[in-house]
Structure 1
Amino acid sequence: MAIDNRSAGPLVLGLDFGTESCRAALIDATGTILAAAAGTYATRYPRSGWAEQDPRDWWAAAGQATRRAMQEGGVMPGAVVGLACDATSLTLVAADRDGSPLRPAIMWMDVRAVDQARRADELDADTRRCSGGGTMPASAEWYPFKAAWLKENEPETYHQAAYLVDAVDWITYRLTGRWTTNINTAAHRMYYDRDRGGWPVDLYQAVGVGDVFAKLPEQVLDLGVQVGELTSAAAEDLGLAPGLPVAEGAIDAWSGQVGLNVLAPGTMALITGSSHVFTGLTDRPVTGPGFLGAFTDSVLPGSYTLEGGQSSTGSVLKWFKDNFARDVVAEADRSGQNAYDLLTERARALPPGADGVVVNEYFQGNRTPYCDGQARGMIWGLSLHHGPEHVFRAIQEGVCYGTEHIRRVIATAGHQIDEIVACGGVSRSRPWMQMHADVLGVPITLTREGEATVLGAGIFAATGAGLYGSVPEAAAAMVHPAETIEPDAQRHEQYRFFVDRYIEAFPQMRESMHALAAHIGSAEHPAPSD
């Protein structure tokens, strides 16, 4: 159905570059998504723990999605007054001076840089204060370690790269022709801290990439700030009018936090999809074992952000569906139903704890509370009594257990969580959202627009275009609560036992997992024969 542009008023475009697709959404000043479309791209997994994408595929998908959204909405280019993007992070792009990628992007979930990250563990705890107050290992997902891996393993590419940036900043360059670094990526994934003067040069030197600053844009911009205008070339690719204001964007999870209007202490955002991110703001720099932060100014100037995350959540459920539930997928195709809904229905009658099956969902490593790139998934408690529905249910529950583990470590550090606001793929499953509320024992609010991540990009775009004076003002006007899911007290008590067992399991298996990872790594890189 075509949009009546006269009644809709000015529109902004949000571009959300997720793990599997780019979603383009046309959003009005009230936060209503009036039209949306997606373009997909592939991820390649060359080795265990590796993940790569071609940035050119992102740009092609953005053009497809934007043109389709404009066409389906019946929107003329002149109705769009601004745009912004969000993307996965830390997704490393090595580019020459004109932005052409020199190799596939090293994805956010890629943990090949474990050895480089270990070098940071030898530094003093204050240098690593954002990693659990200095108690957690450095994450192989973060910028300096991926940069160091590239320098050591592909030195020609490293030295040829004029820019080594996160996906968000590469896309912003493609939109505007200007190289910038967004404060969100800089603070969350690059150790940048305005309270302490900016870049921690000593840390980068210790890791082996003290020269990488020459490959970083000089400007570090706050979210929603106008970066520049849409270039003629980008406008032609996207089917838009040149000269549109382009605002600074963010990592997808924190775009989701803004799109949920989680901008005050006491409330946490739960952004779900292939992974989970659990994040919220504080007015002071809270740190502690098992979570990340506090990150200075990363969402709003003058505030601090706490972060917990699970590297594999929805992606584990997809892995199960694609590999072990092909009969259900076929049935869903025949009946026109959703395969996940059919699997959920089959598992609905199972009691809390899936009849004793427990899944630790670390299929692509553990982000928090262990920050362990060599962690891998576990399915345990199996017997001949159990069937596919038990494993499916246990994966759902294991994801919830991981979120509850993060909530516990944040609470132990003294940060009280009174409400959770959720969005993303998991939020579309009411039973799974109820399970999250039951396991965590905290109310979960859903907003009117479930696509909060792309809405967050729209909020940045509306701010950069001058429709609102600030990101909080735009979020207050564009985000609207829809319903709150209350936890079931009885099920919450039943789940406590299983959460405790889930938490106990990984430390007992850690040493064996690391030995296995080392063995597989040596098999992939055998010593040369004489």
Structure 2
Amino acid sequence: MADIYVIGIDAGTESMRAGVFDLDGGLVAEGVTPIETRFPQASWAEQSPEDWWRALGASVRQAVGKAGIRPDQVVGLAADTTCCTVVAMDDRGRSLRPAIIWMDMRAAPQAARIAALDDPALKVNNAGRGPVSAEWMIPKSLWMAENQPDLFEQADYVCDCQDYINFHLTGRMVANITSASTRWHYDSRTGYAAGLLSKLGLTALLDRWPREVLPLGQVIGGLTPAAAEHLGLPAGLPVAQGGSDAFIGMIGLGVVQPNRLAMITGSSHNHLGFVGEEVHGAGFWGTYPDAVIPGLHAIEGGQTSTGSVIAWFKRLIDSGITYERLNAEAAELPPGSEGLVVLDHFQGNRTPYTDSASRGAITGLTLRHGPAHIFRAMMESVAFGTELILETMGAAGFKPEDVVVCGGATNSDLWIQIHADVSGLPLKLTRIANAPMLGSAVLAAVGAGHYDDIATAAGRMVQVVRTVEPDMKRYEAYRPVYDSYKALYPALKVVLRP
């Protein structure tokens, strides 16, 4: 099998990445093409779908060329994309306006109106307590229908970035179950949320959404001749259904069974796991039935500001001090940073409080404290935020045995150790840094028929290369500091508001 390969595509906000993988999950070569984001008004963010298509062709050709393989050695491909990047297009695949990408907040008023409704489809949002994010599909579609009604009427399809790309690859319009379940209020047992759309006067959206919702790894179709020429790959090459990047990252981390947690780190943290039965509760999102693995319910938590807080502090001091030096000096300090406790809500809180108006704080400062103290306390605060999410999920029955982690936090041995020590759980790191891209390759291998299912493919293609065990003495030392962290939000809620 060494002579055949699959391609995993990761369509992110900043770039289009394509990786050539062998069937053991080894990355042979990668192609990267930047994508431009435009900001026509405050809180708006748009991209050109045509730019995605150009970047996809360039990245795939780069990757195959760097790999030094023949195009006919590629046996399948799949893509993950950003979620809730909404496209209005005609039946030939031509976009009618720039795509409203996930970070665009123009639909905040529509989101607030949706959150105020009483509808069972909203139970996945904090057990119906909300909020509904302006990022999501229905608020953006409602904004389009209300503010650009002629364009909305002209659209044959209103779909996601994922669906646009797959349509251009195969000529077939389908939705993926991950994005639909987590951000469109689709339920695998009952279908689209027709009742919710009716309450909004938006039933016309049902005629514009893809009719079919496919599970991950199912073959959508083969590359059309035009797509094959664009990518430099054989016509008819199987294209497997992918999904939204963070959830495909679960697969790329090998988190495909209950009682394990995928932690995807970067500017923010995403916490994703599976439970065997449906649960809903305050402080987390979900659960979403069949959204990633058939028969399992996905549970979701997240922190808004994590790596971005660390980067902000580094920019703020701007004294030539390196991350390496900060890590080394912070590692010499004891748990608790000698009395400092930070609240990591620099851009609000996603879970468990879901409070966009909350703000960050650095407490306990004395003249003894220096940059390394603040640096470590910030790392600890993010780990405390993760622990609070795990505690909240645990009350609903989800108690992971370990955490598999990828992303920016893995660049700091200290930060990973702090996470392990605060949670008392082992943290596992895998050999491929881009977990979503590897997850797409896993789906491509399943779609190409080389593995029977996602769990089997992930078991073969995802390899853990390091385990960071918690130090239980430090775990105990962190308990009173964690209690102080938990006390900060209710104490400061009334004063730290914008």
Structure 1 length-normalised TM: 0.85
3-state SS, counterpart of residue 124 of structure 2:
coil
Q: 8 Å contact 1:139–1:371 — kept in the other structure? A: no
Identity of aligned residues (%): 44
Query: Residue in 2 aligned with 1:490?
Result: 473
Letter in 1 for 2:316: F
Letter in 1 for 2:138: P
Query: Residue in 2 aligned with 1:278?
Result: 271
Residue 417 of structure 1: CA displacement?
1.6
RMSD, aligned α-carbons: 2.7
Change (3 A) 1:160 1:450: same
Change (3 A) 1:45 1:96: same
Q: Distance between the aligned counterparts of 1:497 and 1:168, measured in 2?
A: 45
Query: Residue in 1 aligned with 2:383?
Result: 400
Residue 385 of structure 1: CA displacement?
5.5
Q: How many residue pairs were aligned? A: 497
Residue 149 of structure 1: CA displacement?
2.5
User: Are 2:284 and 1:291 equivalent residues in the alignment?
Assistant: yes
User: Are 2:6 and 1:12 equivalent residues in the alignment?
Assistant: yes
User: Are 2:59 and 1:62 equivalent residues in the alignment?
Assistant: no
User: Are 2:100 and 1:106 equivalent residues in the alignment?
Assistant: yes
Unaligned runs of 5+ in 1: 1-6, 332-338, 517-530
Letter in 2 for 1:33: L
Q: Distance between the aligned counterparts of 2:370 and 2:164, measured in 1?
A: 45
Larger deviation, residues 385-394 vs 298-307: 385-394
Larger deviation, residues 347-356 vs 178-187: 347-356
Query: Residue in 1 aligned with 2:408?
Result: 425
Residue 148 of structure 1: CA displacement?
1.7
How big is each residue's C-alpha offset from its partner over 1:48-86, in whole Å with a ceiling of 9 and x where there is no partner? 655443333333333333222222221221111110000
Q: Distance between the aligned counterparts of 2:170 and 2:191, measured in 1?
A: 25
Query: Residue in 1 aligned with 2:191?
Result: 198
How big is each residue's C-alpha offset from its partner over 1:208-239, in whole Å with a ceiling of 9 and x where there is no partner? 43221122110100000001112233333333
Letter in 2 for 1:412: A
Q: Distance between the aligned counterparts of 1:375 and 1:237, measured in 2?
A: 46
Partner residue of 1:481 out of 454, 459, 464: 464
Change (3 A) 1:401 1:47: farther
Partner residue of 2:167 out of 165, 173, 181: 173
Q: 8 Å contact 2:258–2:296 — kept in the other structure? A: no
Q: 8 Å contact 2:342–2:377 — kept in the other structure? A: yes
Q: Distance between the aligned counterparts of 2:338 and 2:106, measured in 1?
A: 36
3-state SS, counterpart of residue 123 of structure 1:
coil
Q: Distance between the aligned counterparts of 1:161 and 1:361, measured in 2?
A: 42
Letter in 1 for 2:418: M
Q: 8 Å contact 1:126–1:133 — kept in the other structure? A: no
Q: Distance between the aligned counterparts of 1:99 and 1:364, measured in 2?
A: 37
Change (3 A) 1:95 1:400: farther
Residue 92 of structure 1: CA displacement?
2.0
3-state SS, counterpart of residue 152 of structure 2:
helix
Letter in 1 for 2:255: V
How big is each residue's C-alpha offset from its partner over 1:133-175, in whole Å with a ceiling of 9 and x where there is no partner? 2234223332212222233344444334332222222222222
Residue 187 of structure 1: CA displacement?
0.7
Query: Residue in 2 aligned with 1:446?
Result: 429
Change (3 A) 1:242 1:340: farther
Letter in 2 for 1:380: I
Residue 204 of structure 1: CA displacement?
1.9
Query: Residue in 2 aligned with 1:121?
Result: 115
Query: Residue in 2 aligned with 1:336?
Result: none
Q: 8 Å contact 1:22–1:61 — kept in the other structure? A: yes
Query: Residue in 1 aligned with 2:204?
Result: 211
Letter in 1 for 2:397: G
Query: Residue in 2 aligned with 1:505?
Result: 488
Unaligned runs of 5+ in 2: none
3-state SS, counterpart of residue 158 of structure 2:
strand
Change (3 A) 1:110 1:309: farther
User: Are 2:357 and 1:375 equivalent residues in the alignment?
Assistant: yes
Query: Residue in 2 aligned with 1:130?
Result: 124
User: Are 2:207 and 1:225 equivalent residues in the alignment?
Assistant: no
Q: Distance between the aligned counterparts of 1:371 and 1:292, measured in 2?
A: 10
Alignment map for 1:37-436 (pairs within 5 Å): 37-44=31-38, 50-124=44-118, 126-195=120-189, 197-321=190-314, 323-324=315-316, 326-328=318-320, 340-372=323-355, 374-375=356-357, 377-381=359-363, 387-436=370-419
Structure 2 length-normalised TM: 0.91
